[in-house]
């Protein structure tokens, strides 16, 4: 399991102070530059510009729960990639929030669960692995936050077996913010999967039909409104 990053192994991301604000930011994106902001309890907000490709590399490795070293001119800031806003169409980052935490205070961060190993209930019994939880909020000192938490699914040998929160292995000083008996993963039998699949399809079709009917009704209502508005305009003109 990969634990926290040692300060000396921290990834470095060089950034520049951004002078372009508001509508000018669009020009930056066209040049492959990502707008960002750095903030935290002990610093004033700083607008930044980052090379998009360099950011992607660091983000893939660090995620949102590993401290990275942000280099602004000659200064270094230990920060978390706090929020990445993505374009809804391309899924490319369009803005980044960096957060500089206080290193002596514990903070919460969402950490992805990485499932590994082979489940006999899947391999030999033809079951389907159901991941009930794929990301978990943890509490720790910023430098102790894990990049990921590994979940070994070898324990799932039958359809009765389950992996619970209390079964997860976490580094020292890392507290999971979930109930110990919550289910993380189970394997469901092929029959159960088929039942589940059949059920939502029928429900979905009904939902879609209802939505379509609603949209048609709304369109008709809009047209009727437009017509009545036109009629009232004509009436007003005639009365003049």
Whole-number pLDDT of residue 192: 76
Whole-number pLDDT of residue 8: 43
Whole-number pLDDT of residue 104: 95
Whole-number pLDDT of residue 5: 41
Domain spanning 7-101: which CATH class is it, in words?
A: mainly beta
Q: How much is the pTM?
A: 0.68
Per the prediction, the chain carries an average pLDDT of 84
Whole-number pLDDT of residue 9: 66
In whole angstroms, what separates CA 223 from the centre of its chain? 40
Q: Where are the domains of the chain?
A: 7-101, 108-188
Whole-number pLDDT of residue 201: 61
For 136-148, write each residue's pLDDT tens digit. 999 999 999 998 9
Q: Which of 134, 12, 131 is nearest to 66 (CA)?
A: 12
Whole-number pLDDT of residue 7: 42
Whole-number pLDDT of residue 148: 92
- Considering the domain delimited by 108-188, tell me its CATH architecture: Beta Complex (2.170)
Per-residue pLDDT for the chain (240 aa), expressed as one digit of tens each? Answer: 333 344 446 899 999 998 766 666 677 777 888 999 999 999 999 999 999 999 999 999 898 888 999 999 889 999 999 999 998 998 889 899 999 999 999 999 999 999 999 999 999 999 999 999 999 999 999 999 998 999 999 999 999 999 999 999 999 999 999 999 999 999 999 887 677 777 666 666 777 777 777 676 666 666 666 655 554 544 444 445
Whole-number pLDDT of residue 10: 83
């Amino acid at each position: 399991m990969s634990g926290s990053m040692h300060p000396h192994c921290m990834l470095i991301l060089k950034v520049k102070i951004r002078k372009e604000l508001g509508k000018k930011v669009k020009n930056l994106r066209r040049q492959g530059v990502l707008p960002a902001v750095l903030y935290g309890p002990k610093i004033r907000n700083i607008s930044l510009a980052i090379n998009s490709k360099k950011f992607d590399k660091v983000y893939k490795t660090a995620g949102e729960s590993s401290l990275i070293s942000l280099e602004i001119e000659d200064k270094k800031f230990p920060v978390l990639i706090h929020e990445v806003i993505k374009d809804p169409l391309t899924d490319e980052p369009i803005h980044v929030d960096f957060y500089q935490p206080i290193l002596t205070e514990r903070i919460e961060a969402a950490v992805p669960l990485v499932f590994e190993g082979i489940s006999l209930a899947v391999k030999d019994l033809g079951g389907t692995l159901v991941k009930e939880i794929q990301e978990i909020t943890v509490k720790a000192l910023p430098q102790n936050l894990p990049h990921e938490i590994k979940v070994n699914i070898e324990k799932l040998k039958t359809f009765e077996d389950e992996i619970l929160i209390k079964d997860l292995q976490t580094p020292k000083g890392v507290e999971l913010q979930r109930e110990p008996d919550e289910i993380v993963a189970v394997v469901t039998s092929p029959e159960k999967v088929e039942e589940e699949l059949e059920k939502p399809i029928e429900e979905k079709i009904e939902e879609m039909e209802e939505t379509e009917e609603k949209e048609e009704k709304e369109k008709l209502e809009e047209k009727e409104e437009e017509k009545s508005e036109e009629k009232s305009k004509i009436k007003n003109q005639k009365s003049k």
